[in-house]
Amino acid sequence: MEEMLIIAGFGGQGVQLIGKMLVEAGMEEGKEVSFLPSYGAEMRGGTSNCNVIIADEPICSPIVNEATCVMALNRPSLDKFENAVLPGKTLLINSSLVDRKAERTDIEAIYVPANDIANELGNSKVANMVMLGAYIGVAHAVTIDTVMENLRITLGERKAHLLPMNRVAIERGIACVEEQRK
């Protein structure tokens, strides 16, 4: 197994956190991992993306040019990275913010209304966890339980009350994938 993921969006959408959660979960599960962040100097609103690789074998390079999955959290990211998806592989699109469909027909496009789901749950900040769940539902590269344990550590005692909402957000992302693959 070798999952090569590009996660892209605006700064402030939690792009880097998604990547970090996946890599930490992969390490905990004994997999080989790589994380290569890229972002502008702006804290919010600038471009942000990262390359994540989760594999059973050693990883030669952290750079992902051809992805098994691209997660586009906004329209500019979809425009930039749609062509990076390998034929037959998956493109996850945050349909709450992206106003177009995938142009390619040789890939699987899954539309996840991440911001809408997060707002339904009462916290717009969990949209990234919805997208993380969608990726877990697509790739099965890590388990939700390992992600939640790492999130518990990341949030700490002070924010532990947010764990149940984050788990529901991840589960809703997984459900989006299951519904569209029926």
User: What is the pTM assigned to this prediction?
Assistant: 0.93
Tens-level pLDDT at each residue, the chain (182 residues): 999 999 999 988 999 999 999 999 999 999 999 999 997 765 566 789 999 999 999 999 999 999 999 999 999 999 999 999 999 999 999 999 999 999 999 999 999 999 999 999 999 999 999 999 999 999 999 999 999 999 999 888 999 999 999 999 999 999 999 999 98
Cβ pair 23, 13 in contact under 8 A: no
CA pair distance 113, 121, nearest whole angstrom: 12
CATH number of residue 114's parent domain? 3.40.920.10
Q: Which domain holds residue 151?
A: 2-180
Domains: count for the chain: 1
Sheet holding 32-39, edge to edge: 32-39, 47-55, 2-10, 67-72, 85-94, 108-112
